[in-house]
Amino acid sequence: MKYDFTSIEQKWQKIWDQKKVYSVDLNDTGKKLYCLVMFLYPSGDKLHIGHWYNFAPTDTWARFHRLKGYNVFEPIGYDAFGLPAENYAIKTGVHPQDSTRKNITDIRSQLKKMGAMYDFDYEVDTSDPEYYKWTQWIFLELYKKGLAYRTNAPVNWCPKDQTVLANEQVVDGLCERCSTPVVRKAMTQWFFKITAYADKLLEGLDSIDWPERTKLMQRNWIGRSEGVEIVFKVENVEDTIKVFTTRPDTLFGATYVVLAPEHPLVQKVTKPAFKAAVDEYVELVAHENEIERTSTSKEKTGVPTGAFAINPINGEKIPIWIADYVLSTYGTGAVMAVPAHDERDFEFAQKYKLPIRIVVNPTDGNLVEPLKAAYVEEGVAVNSGHFNGLESPKVWDGIADELQKNGDATRKVNYRIRDWLLSRQRYWGAPIPIVHCDSCGEVPVPDKDLPVLLPYDVEFKPTGESPLARNDAFVNVACPKCGKPAKRDVDTMDTFVDSSWYFLRYLTPHLGTAAFDDKLVSRWLPVDKYVGGAEHAVMHLLYARFVIKALHDAGWVNFDEPFTSLVHQGIITNQGAKMSKSRGNVVNPDQFVNGYGADTFRMFLMFMGPYNEGGDWSDRGITGIFRFLNKIYDLYSSEEVPPIAGEKTPPSPSDAERTAYRKINQLIKKVTEDLEQFRFNTAIAALMEFVNDFTQLSSENEIGPGLRSLVLNRFNVLLAPFAPHLSEELHELRGGEVPVFSSSRWPEYDASAITEENVTLVVQVNGKVRAKLTVPIDSTDEAVKSLASTEPNVQRHLEGKTILKTIVVQNRLLNFVIK
RNA sequence: GCCGGGGUGGCGGAACUGGUAGACGCGAAGGACUUAAAAUCCUUUGGCCCCAAACGGGCCGUGCGGGUUCAAGUCCCGCCCUCGGCACCA
């Protein structure tokens, strides 16, 4: 018989669907497993190889657990709001709602062909009012807790997309979506106070099973640093300048102070003679874009203000400069410059001939002037008054304490992370549920009036103003508080708000009375295994953690980390470049599904290499998997194949039967261990190796039907997570109860049977292999030694030499060290 | 510049805790079946060399250069390349 994958796959997809094999009883009290992939972005592209690479192996992992007896919940849904759909609409005139709906329909049918365990009754669509009603509710919950606020602040503006962006969406000064240089603009915008959770977000990382590099990225992004805020008086002016430093131990080495050009005191302190130059410089810097401003390779520039600050530790008068290398958005927007011990200050001081004073020497010697580079390590204090001779950590605390006592300093922790800017001047998103009233100010829309519906009929061409502002019917509304005419907020939310809680909604996608069902959420969350791309390390994955922590503190959920365990699949590139529509190098999976079947294709993706490494796409080798499945099909559909029910361990097995039994048990162990760790490639190699060994064994020797049946039964279950359609078919062919995923259990291996009877032992002379011996396992050192020395090739190399020592590693190797 | 991951045959990749490098698959070559092809099956396949030949033996070989060890793809030191992240965060 021929392996007719098309009809087999169609047949089983239909049966699974009709019998509702994968619909989960969420109230089942058995062991639950929530297995989640990052949901889909239906912007106009169909499913591509990258999606398959994310979803299919994850489905294999989920199926494996289902066979192990877990109650597995594996949902899928659509992250349907967002810029790409809107940009597509602008280009083609097709309304984003229409294009998105159509896309979801197409993608759903592609997904069904994949044959994953998705239960399409639990789909989520973030652009559906029944979903975004609750996105708005979450916004309001955060608002009520003071975690959402609106303020005027310098923000990142993308001139092409005509909207503001979050810090996380600016990559190297470019818009993450369209690579346009981002400009800084002061605008009134909505923020989530993620900075309030900086420490909790850091601490939580210690308790979750995530890739270390992802945790590291989050730690770096949060950027916690402990330091001291020091007050410098300004000569002849009332105001003081606060600087943040992590090196108060170098305070005696401060030879000037630098303000960011945007610092509010710049105008106040500048001396009249310097005003013209300062104004000109401030103007110049204001026109620099984000890349120019933050580039480390750019030479630092600055101008003096003519004013002087007083160093609180020694009363010394030092000049105040303004310079572009000081950022207004970090710390206090002002720094004390210690050129001898800070690279940036050193570079600046050299250029502008500012004094460089050594105040820390290495413990093993003195620095030599003039310095060639800043010495940034710790050491021993010099030129530092009564702190001289003390080691840096002591000086650090000593100076901090002394200043603190005099009210000149406070210990402080600063973070690199900024609040999450969530408002967007775009159409295709969830409206922000706030009304602006002249008498009452910001008024949250009452829960009973949610959702604030996104009107269909809107001119969405970008003008820099929110498209919703042009829709009078949307904008004009009675104030929910006083009833007077008021206006709705016209911005929409960043789609990362939508995606930071969708995993709660999956359990009850159509629930009308709440965002989620507490009982189900407390039973099923957190997500046990989350699989998705590493590119979300500091965006989605950080935002979702924040939202969950906020909901936790507000009493809505009983856990504070959403994803217990995280896996990143690697990226599949094409000719070395990331697949994207604009590069025109996207590979469509349909041709492979049609040509070889979903089972072959998913298995090929898993066989390519380590799951978290991805790699460059090539279909070379897909025939190997296809041949393998054909071989299995032949093995199971031949005439003499014993039925499922005939399984039996023979009372006195032949050698071949013992070997076959050992190998199937070794295979169970290997595949089980590999699957647990997402090592699909080596698991598949082991399956292949087994089939090779087993066919050879049974062609040369007699393997009785009882054992043959046993082996085929176990093997077919091992195959099921990888090639589920084929496995069902083979099971049915041999009279088994189907579906496999309802009737079968993952086999346990027989520990007493996996040990080899003989081992191959390497005999070395001076570390070079000279012979190989097959000996019974656990042979004694003496037995092995005497056997080894009878090997002719070994004797030849030992002849006339003295054996200095003999190293024996049991069951592995023997090495004669000679002279 | 800093922080991570990686570099193994013609290709994708395997290798436990330092113990047979190259599992498994692709490709290639030769053979069987066939009128022929496809499919399938069998054999060979890291490089170089010795031997009339062997299913005999030798040398070299995991990015480069050193080191530790009886033994190094694996550990240590110094580099090179590559991918990803961060990049004036005081």
pLDDT tens per residue across span A727-774: 999 999 999 998 999 999 999 999 999 988 888 889 998 888 898 888
DSSP letter string over A323-358?
A: ETTS-TTSTTSEEEE-GGG-HHHHHHHHHTT-----
More confident residue, A525 or A296: A525
Residue A176 pLDDT > 80, yes or no? no
Closest CA to A154 of A145, A144, A164: A164
DSSP category for residue A367: -
8 Å CB contact between A428 and A81: yes
State yes or no: cis peptide before A526, omega within 30 of 0.
yes
Secondary-structure breakdown of chain A: helix, strand, coil percentages, each rounded to the nearest 5: 40, 20, 40
Please list the residues that pair with A759 across neighbouring strands: A775
Question: Which amino acid appears at position A142 of this protein?
Answer: L
Q: What is the arithmetic mean of pLDDT over A248-277? A: 94
Cα A287 from chain centroid?
35
What predicted TM-score, i.e. pTM, was given to this entire model? 0.92
* Owner of token pair 């194949």: A641
Closest CA to A43 of A581, A628, A669: A581
Structure tokens at A144: 């009520």
Per-residue pLDDT, A711:
95
Closest CA to A423 of A377, A521, A354, A490: A490
Question: Residue A385 CB: number of other CB atoms within 10 A?
Answer: 12
In angstroms, the CA A214 to CA A229 distance is 31
A536 touches strand B (CB under 7 A): no
8 Å CB contact between A22 and A559: no
Question: Which amino acid appears at position A747 of this protein?
Answer: P
8 Å CB contact between A644 and A601: no
The tally of CA atoms less than 13 A away on the side-chain side of residue A748 is 4
Model confidence at A290, pLDDT cuts 50, 70, 90, reads low
| Least confident window among A3-17, A238-252, A335-349, A359-373 | A359-373
Q: What is the arithmetic mean of pLDDT over A434-454? A: 95
8 Å CB contact between A120 and A108: yes
Question: Residue A102 CB: number of other CB atoms within 10 A?
Answer: 13
- Mark the nucleotides of strand B covered by protein, meaning any atom under 7 Å from a CB: 1, 3-5, 11-16, 19-21, 23-27, 39-42, 56-59, 70-72, 84-90
* Owner of token pair 């050299």: A350
CA A793, C1' B57: Å apart? 9
- Extended beta strands in A447-602, E state: 476-478, 485-488, 492-493, 529-531, 566-567, 572-574, 577-578
Please list the residues that pair with A102 across neighbouring strands: none
Structure tokens at A481: 């508080």
| Least confident window among A366-380, A465-479, A682-696 | A366-380
Parallel/antiparallel/unpaired status of strands A380-381 and A183-192: unpaired
A225 touches strand B (CB under 7 A): yes
Q: Model confidence over A27-85: pLDDT tens digits?
A: 987 899 999 999 998 877 788 899 999 999 999 999 999 999 999 999 999 999 988 88
Please give the protein residue whose CA is closest to the C1' of the nucleotide B86. A220
Structure tokens at A762: 């390497």
In angstroms, the CA A331 to CA A226 distance is 11
DSSP letter string over A140-173?
A: HHHHHTT-EEEEEEEEEEETTTTEEE-GGGEETT
* Owner of token pair 């496999």: A740
Q: Model confidence over A99-117: pLDDT tens digits?
A: 999 999 999 999 999 999 9
CA A501, C1' B8: Å apart? 44
Residue A182 pLDDT > 90, yes or no? no
Please provide the average confidence, as pLDDT, over all residues in chain A.
Answer: 91
HEC profile of A642-711: CCHHHCCCCCCCCHHHHHHHHHHHHHHHHHHHHHHCCCHHHHHHHHHHHHHHHHHHHHHCCCCHHHHHHH
Closest CA to A502 of A465, A540, A539: A540
Residue A431 pLDDT > 90, yes or no? yes
Q: Model confidence over A778-812: pLDDT tens digits?
A: 888 888 888 888 888 888 888 888 888 889 998 88
Strands of the sheet containing A163-165, edge to edge, are: A163-165, A148-158, A183-192, A420-421
Please give the protein residue whose CA is closest to the C1' of the nucleotide B6. A613
Structure tokens at A133: 């009603």
Q: What is the arithmetic mean of pLDDT over A207-222? A: 91
Per-residue pLDDT, A738:
87
Own/partner pairs, A551-559, CB within 8 angstroms, 24+ separation: A551/A138, A551/A141, A551/A501, A553/A145, A554/A141, A554/A144, A554/A145, A556/A141, A556/A518, A557/A504, A557/A518, A557/A521, A557/A522, A557/A525, A558/A522, A559/A522, A559/A525, A559/A526
Say how many Å lie between the first and final Cα of chain A, rounded.
64
A172 touches strand B (CB under 7 A): yes
DSSP letter string over A558-595?
A: S-S-SBSBEEPPPPEEETTEE--TTTT-PPPTHHHHHH
Q: What is the rounded (10 degree) CA torsion for A656, A657, A663, A669?
A: -170
A807 touches strand B (CB under 7 A): yes
Per-residue pLDDT, A297:
67
Q: How far is CA A141 from CA A447, A494, A743, in A?
A: 10, 17, 45
Q: Model confidence over A666-695: pLDDT tens digits?
A: 999 999 999 999 999 999 999 999 999 999
In angstroms, the CA A779 to CA A781 distance is 7
CA A725, C1' B83: Å apart? 37
Model confidence at A546, pLDDT cuts 50, 70, 90, reads very high
Model confidence at A373, pLDDT cuts 50, 70, 90, reads confident
Query: Which of A56-65, A161-170, A582-591, A697-706 is modeled with the greatest confidence?
Result: A56-65
Which of chain A's residues 603-622 bind strand B, using a 7 Å CB cutoff? 607-610, 613, 615, 618, 620-621
DSSP category for residue A776: E
8 Å CB contact between A536 and A38: yes
Which of chain A's residues 364-393 bind strand B, using a 7 Å CB cutoff? none
What's phi and psi for A57, nearest 5 deg? -65, -35
Question: Residue A272 CB: number of other CB atoms within 10 A?
Answer: 7
Model confidence at A561, pLDDT cuts 50, 70, 90, reads very high
Closest CA to A518 of A508, A510, A528: A508
Length in residues, chain A = 819
Nucleotide whose C1' lies closest to the alpha carbon of residue A224: B89
A797 touches strand B (CB under 7 A): yes
Residue A177 pLDDT > 90, yes or no? no
Per-residue pLDDT, A289:
65
In angstroms, the CA A342 to CA A696 distance is 70
